[in-house]
Amino acid sequence: MIFPIVYNWVIIIFRTCFTIIALSYLPMWLALDYLADLMYILDMIVTLHTGYLDQGILVKDLAHLRKRYLASRHFLRDMVSLLPTDFLYFVFGIQTPLMRLNRLLRLPRLNEALDRMETRTSYPNTFRLSKLMIYIFVLIHWNSCFYFAISNLIGLGSDPWVYPNMSDPAFASMRRQYFHCFWFSANIFTTIADGPRPTREEEYLFMIADILITVLVFASVVGNVGNVISSLRDRDNVFFPNHELVKAYLRTHNVTKDLREHIDKWYQHLHINKKIIRENEILEQLPVHLRTEIAVSVHLPTLSKVTIFQSCEKSLLEELVLKLTPQVFSPGEYVCRKGDVGHEMYIIKEGKLAVVADDGITQFAVLSEGTFFGEISILNIKGNKSGNRRTANIRSIGYSDLFSLSKEDLTHVLSEFPAAKRHLEEKGRQILIKMGMLEESGDGEKKEVEEVETKIKRLEDNLEILQTKLARLMMELESSNRKMQARVEQLEWDMAALETELPEVGGGERAHRRGEGVGEDVEWERKEAEGEEEEDSHVKVKKYGQGDDGNNVTKQGAGESTKSTKEEAERMVEGDKFGLKIPDNEEKKERDNEKKNKEKVDDRPGKGDGAEAEPQDKKEEKSKMRGSEGKGNAKKDSDKKTLGRMTKGRKK
């Protein structure tokens, strides 16, 4: 769409103002006009079949695409730009191309095309400058056309400001007409009204408009060019270290000339050969998976040449390429020296390195592209006499590009790939054997095995101790649970008895029971804390409760000693159960009640002379009633005492 839109924006105004040029090449203009219209129609067809994203999903259904496009404003604009206004030629004449002015409505499509090209080109800054120059050219072109049209309107050659008269052969040429007008407009836009002075009002208005436009254009040009230059400088600062800052630092500290030249050559090598050593900073804005794909695409050929990585799986390579750091070494520069502590291994991407002796002259071997070294000092190979120190001197012969991999990153990656780790350790062990720096004795391995066995035994002992503690805790928990359950059941029984017998107890007697046992609170709290005495008292109550019927029903002729023994047993049961001692006045009241009950029993019919004997069934019923009354009295006394203690506990 760039060609038809730019064509209409340039040629329509050009043919309208320069009528001689329009009529001289009329067949060519008409052919180009209808070719541009055909491209407009093709663009509508393509737009009709162009998918769009709906919640991240590409919609390709033609029915949805047609409905969306026909209901949009773009379709209305495209249709207006294709209206057959050419039929107005029959009214105004074919020399009036201004009838095709509606073709200029496709300008938004041009902006879209330029934006897409800017995102796809490899040189975005150059494209931005080119786009700015196109805009300026179109603006100057339109201004020159307006200038020639105003000159025709005022009169050619009527004053120094307008275009000269065509009677002069030098200004009669069609090319001279356009070039003169274009030069005049460009002169205004660049030198800000440095040209012929206007004499008419129309000329003044035209110049004022041009000056205002010139201010905007000049600001736009300066701003865009400044942005392009700044972006180019930022790109260089990201790709390469800032050379100017380094130079200023070297001058400030009076560094020797040889060292400055060495640094300048290193910078020159980076710029000329496009050696980028800050890849991570450039790609840090991208997501991880895209960075991985880029790193694999760029560095996979180098990694595939390394023997240790040739048979490795792809996931290992993806882990490694993200952790590689590029480094560039100058001729004669040492990559590592013998005896230095090793913190990284190296992979040669490009260049050659020499393994030299301590004198720096004798060469033992030459390392070329795809070779790796330095892994011995960062791998914990058992029996290595040198530990983590370098075992050789390696110096760059020319400019060498290397990838460095730190010890931490390599350990992290190889921990997930044990096969590659074993392979790398085996190659390092072979190198140490050749150099005679590997201890062959198995003392170290035996010691390590013994340490492992000791640790396993210690862990087993700790596990047994923990299991014993766990079993003891479980038993204690179960015992506590049983005790708590027994106490809860006893409290439930007491509360049920209170709810049943509480209404029968008088107010004065309850008050008396409430005050009972004040001096024995300490003993009650102690027995409640222990918990075991509660269960024993419960068992005793059950034992004595089994003989309540025989104890409460007093037989005829029984003496006072038998009754007092039974009453004392009942009081002992209650005292064991609740931890309280019955006062003496209470004992006297109970004995008086027992005597009254006895007198009543002795006065019943059948005991005196001449009385009729009661039936046997009535005797049994009365004996049962008296037994139940005895039980009830004992139970009431115990419930009253329990209620008093509970009331005191709540108050406390």
Residue 55's Cβ-count burial label (10 Å; 0-12, 13-18, 19+) is exposed
Residues in a beta bridge with 54? 57
Reduced to 3 states (helix: H, G, I; strand: E, B; else coil), residue 389 is strand
Reduced to 3 states (helix: H, G, I; strand: E, B; else coil), residue 240 is coil
Q: Which tokens in the block code for residue 306?
A: 């390394």
Buried b (16+ CB within 10 A) or exposed e, 593-626: ebeebeeeeeeeeeeeeeeeeeeeeeeeeeeeeb
Pick the more confident residue, 375 or 569.
375
Q: What is the pLDDT of residue 474?
A: 93
Flag the least confident range among 121-130, 224-233, 289-298, 466-475.
224-233
pLDDT band at 253, cuts 50/70/90? Answer: confident
52 pLDDT exceeds 60? yes
Cα–Cα distance, 386 to 376 (Å, whole number):
9
77 pLDDT exceeds 80? yes
Reduced to 3 states (helix: H, G, I; strand: E, B; else coil), residue 28 is helix
The DSSP call for residue 200 is S
Flag the least confident range among 206-210, 244-248, 536-540.
536-540
Cα–Cα distance, 169 to 21 (Å, whole number):
17
Angle between helices 616-651 and 584-602 (to 10 degrees): 160
Angle between helices 124-154 and 201-239 (to 10 degrees): 170
* Selection from 413, 420, 407, 416 nearest residue 309 by Cα: 420
254 pLDDT exceeds 70? yes
42 pLDDT exceeds 90? yes
Cα–Cα distance, 180 to 308 (Å, whole number):
72
Q: Which tokens in the block code for residue 258?
A: 């040889």
Which three-class secondary structure string do you get for 92-157?
Answer: HCCCCHHHHHHHHHHHHHHHHHHHHHHHHCCCHHHHHHHHHHHHHHHHHHHHHHHHHHHHHHHCCC
Q: Cβ distance 69 to 77 under 8 Å? A: no
Highest mean pLDDT (candidates 172-186, 310-324, 532-546): 172-186
pLDDT band at 536, cuts 50/70/90? Answer: very low
User: Would the pTM count as exceeding 0.75?
Assistant: no
CA 433-435-438 angle, to 5 degrees, is 45
Kindly list the distances between the CA atom of residue 596 and the CA atoms of 493, 552, 589, 591, 599, in Å, as whole numbers in the listed order: 31, 14, 11, 9, 5
Cα–Cα distance, 236 to 125 (Å, whole number):
13
Residue 578's Cβ-count burial label (10 Å; 0-12, 13-18, 19+) is buried
Instruction: Kindly state the average pLDDT of the residues 489-518.
Output: 65
**Which amino acid is located at 87 in the chain?**
F
Cα–Cα distance, 236 to 503 (Å, whole number):
101
Cα–Cα distance, 593 to 547 (Å, whole number):
20
Q: Which tokens in the block code for residue 597?
A: 């009950």
Q: What are phi and psi of 344, to 5 degrees?
A: -160, 155
**Which amino acid is located at 642 in the chain?**
T
Q: What is the pLDDT of residue 235?
A: 64
Instruction: Kindly state the average pLDDT of the residues 207-221.
Output: 84
Cα–Cα distance, 363 to 357 (Å, whole number):
6
Q: What is the pLDDT of residue 120?
A: 81
Which three-class secondary structure string do you get for 512-538?
Answer: HHHCCCHHHHHHHHHHHHHCHHHHHHH
Instruction: Kindly state the average pLDDT of the residues 94-120.
Output: 87
Q: What is the pLDDT of residue 607?
A: 41
Q: Which tokens in the block code for residue 137?
A: 């050219």
Cα–Cα distance, 581 to 49 (Å, whole number):
105
Reduced to 3 states (helix: H, G, I; strand: E, B; else coil), residue 253 is coil
* Direct distance between the N- and C-terminal alpha carbons of the chain, in angstroms, rounded to an integer: 96
Q: Cβ distance 353 to 302 under 8 Å? A: no
Cα–Cα distance, 150 to 184 (Å, whole number):
13
Q: What is the pLDDT of residue 514?
A: 43
